[in-house]
Structure 1
C-alpha cells in the first residue's frame, strides 16, 4: 500500500486549510480572466470590498475551460502561445452571467464548480469519522493522505482476518475518501489488507457514495455569496451519522468474508496464455499506461504465481511504487474490480496470447 503522511500531519494541514480557504458563489460576469506573459492565470473577482485577485490552479483551469465549453487542449495552447487571445475568449464567455462556485485556498482558485455543488469538507468529515475509526478494535491507520484532489483515510482492524492461502492472511479494513474540488464523490469502501506484502485492495462497489449536489444557494442572480463554515453544518452532521453506520457495515464480518472469498477464488484461475499478453490486455481494458503495464508484469513474474490471484496481487503490489497517491489508489481499486470480473472476462485475460 502506498505510504502517505502521518495522521498528525494530516490533522495539522486540515486545520490550516480550514482557516485559509474561502468559497464564493457569484455570477460569472463578476469575474475577469487575466494571463501574464509566462502563462500564469488569474481570476479577478469583484467582491464587496473591491477587486480581489486569485491565482488559478491547473485543476481549476481545466474546470473553467469545461464550464465555458472551450476545449482544454485549445485553452492550454492559447495560454502558452497567445495569452491575450485566451483572455478575450474567456472574458467573452464569462459575460453570460451563469452562476458559479469558486473554491479558494491560500489566495488561489482551486475549483470552478456549479452553484449547486454541495460542500462536504474534509475537515468536518475527519472531525466526525476519525473518533469513530479510532474505536474500531485495535485499529491501525495504514495510510492517510491529502492530495490536490482528495483526502484518504485507510485503516485496518486485525480483529477480522482470513487465510486466503496457507500462510497468506488478509485483514479487514475501510477506506474513506472525499474531494472538496469536484473530483468525485465521498466514498466509504471496504478494504482487504494482505499481510505478506502489505497490499491494499479496495472493493469495487462502494458501501456509501455521496454526490456533491445540493440546492441553489441564493435566488438573486446579481448577488455574491460567501459561505461561512457553519452554513451547512447541521446537514453535514446528519449525513456523518449515516457515515458512521456505513463504516461499521464496511468492516463487518459478513462483508469482509464475502470479499476475502472472492479474492480466494481467483487462485483457481490459471494464466495459461502469455503473461505479457495478459498484462497488455489488462492495460487496454483498464487504462494502464506503458510504465504501469511494465510494473505489473514485473511483479507478476517475480511473484511466481501465474493465476488470477497472482495478477490481482501484482496490480496492488505495484501500486505502492506509483509516485502519484491518487493513481496508486486507483490501482488498489483495480484490484477490487478484478475480483468482481465475470468468468468470461477472466477467461479472456487468462488465455491471452
Structure 2
C-alpha cells in the first residue's frame, strides 16, 4: 500500500486549512478573469469591500473552462500564447452567464469552481466524526492516510479479522474512507483487503457508501455574493456522519470481509494460459493504463511468478506502491477490487490473451 503522511501531520494540515479556506457563492457577472504575461491566472471578485484577487489552481482552471464550455486544450493554448484573447473569451462568457458559482478558496487561491448546488462535506468535519469511530475498531492500524490536492484518504486495518488465501498467505480486513472538497468525486466508505505478504491494499467496490456533493441552491439573490465560513458549514451534515459510522462498522464486519476475501480467493483458480505480455496489454487497454504503468504491472506479474488471476490482481495492487501520485496509486488499489468482480467471460479474455 502506498505510504502517506502521519496521522498527526494530517490533523495539523486539516486544522491549518480550516483557518485558511473560504467559500463564496458569486454571480458570474461579478467575476472577472485576468491573465498576466507569465500565464498566471486570477479571478477578480467584486466583494463588498472592493475587488478581491485570487489565484487559480490548475483544477479550478479546468472546472472554469468546463463551466463556460471552452475546450480545456484551447483554454490552455490561449493561456500560454494569447492571454489577452483568453481573458476576452472568459469574461465575455462570464458577463453573459446568469449562473451563480461556488468558489472554494484556500491560501488566497481559488481551488474549485463549482455549482451553487454543491453540497460541502468537508474533510475536517469528516475526520472529526469518523476518526473516533475508526480508533474504536479492534487493534486498529492506520496503514496509510493522506491529504492530496483533490482528496483525503483514511486507510485502516483491523487485524482481528483475517483469512488465509493459501498456506502462509494471509489477508486482513480494513476500510477506506475518502472525500473530495473540490468536486473530484464522492465521499465514500469502502471495505479494504490488506495482504500481509506484499503489504498490498485492495479496495472492494461492493458494500460501499457513496455520497454525492449535490444539494439545494444556496441563496436566491442574483446580484449579491454569499460568503460562507467554516462555522456555518456543520449543521447539515451531522445526520449523514452518523450513517458513516454504521457503514464503517458494516465494512469491517466478518460477513462482509469473508465474502470479499472469498471472491479474491476464487481468482487463484484462474490460470493465465495465454501470453502474460498480451494479458497485461489487454488489461492496460481496458483500464487506460499508460506505457509505464503497463510495464510496471507486467514486471510484478513476472517477478512474483504467479500466472493466475490472483497473481494478476496482486501485480496490479503491488504496482500501486511504485506510483508517485497518491491519488493514482489508490486507483490501482481500486482496480484490484474491480478485477475480483469480473464475470467469467471477461476473465477469459484476459487469461487466454495471445
Q: Deviations over 1:249-306 (max 9, x none)?
A: 0000000000000000000000000000000000000111100000000000000110
For 1:271 and 1:197, the matched residues in 2 are separated by 21
Note the residue ranges of structure 1 that are not aligned, 5 or more in a row: none
Q: Which residue is equivalent to 1:49?
A: 49
Contact 2:10 2:145 (C-alpha < 8 Å) held by counterparts: yes
Q: Which residue is equivalent to 2:215?
A: 214
Moved more, 49-58 or 226-235: 226-235
Q: Which residue is equivalent to 1:90?
A: 90
Q: Residue 248 of structure 1 aligns to a residue in which SS?
A: helix
Q: How does 1:231-270 map to 2 (within 5 A)?
A: 231-270=232-271
Deviation at residue 141 of structure 1 after TM alignment: 0.2
Q: Which residue is equivalent to 2:318?
A: 317
Q: Which residue is equivalent to 2:346?
A: 345
Deviation at residue 205 of structure 1 after TM alignment: 3.1
Q: Residue 25 of structure 1 aligns to a residue in which SS?
A: strand
TM-score of the two chains, using structure 2 as the length reference: 0.99
For 1:137 and 1:222, the matched residues in 2 are separated by 53
Q: Which residue is equivalent to 1:229?
A: 230
Number of positions where the alignment pairs a residue of Structure 1 with one of Structure 2:
353
Q: Deviations over 1:3-45 (max 9, x none)?
A: 0000000000000000000000010111000001110000000
Q: Deviations over 1:328-349 (max 9, x none)?
A: 0000000000000000000000
Q: Deviations over 1:182-234 (max 9, x none)?
A: 00000000000000010000012351000000011101111110112232412
For 2:207 and 2:253, the matched residues in 1 are separated by 14
Q: How does 1:50-129 map to 2 (within 5 A)?
A: 50-95=50-95, 96-129=97-130
Deviation at residue 236 of structure 1 after TM alignment: 1.1
Q: Residue 161 of structure 2 aligns to a residue in which SS?
A: strand
Contact 1:273 1:351 (C-alpha < 8 Å) held by counterparts: yes
Matched, 1:297 2:298: yes
Q: Deviations over 1:95-142 (max 9, x none)?
A: 023100000000000000000000000000000000110000000000
Q: How does 1:86-235 map to 2 (within 5 A)?
A: 86-95=86-95, 96-205=97-206, 207-235=208-236
Q: Which residue is equivalent to 1:35?
A: 35
Moved more, 158-167 or 220-229: 220-229
Contact 2:22 2:105 (C-alpha < 8 Å) held by counterparts: yes
Q: Which residue is equivalent to 1:332?
A: 333
Contact 2:278 2:353 (C-alpha < 8 Å) held by counterparts: yes
State the Cα RMSD in Å.
0.7
Contact 2:207 2:251 (C-alpha < 8 Å) held by counterparts: no
For 1:206 and 1:120, the matched residues in 2 are separated by 21
Contact 1:204 1:334 (C-alpha < 8 Å) held by counterparts: no
Note the residue ranges of structure 2 that are not aligned, 5 or more in a row: none
For 1:198 and 1:100, the matched residues in 2 are separated by 43
Contact 1:2 1:320 (C-alpha < 8 Å) held by counterparts: yes
Contact 1:187 1:206 (C-alpha < 8 Å) held by counterparts: no
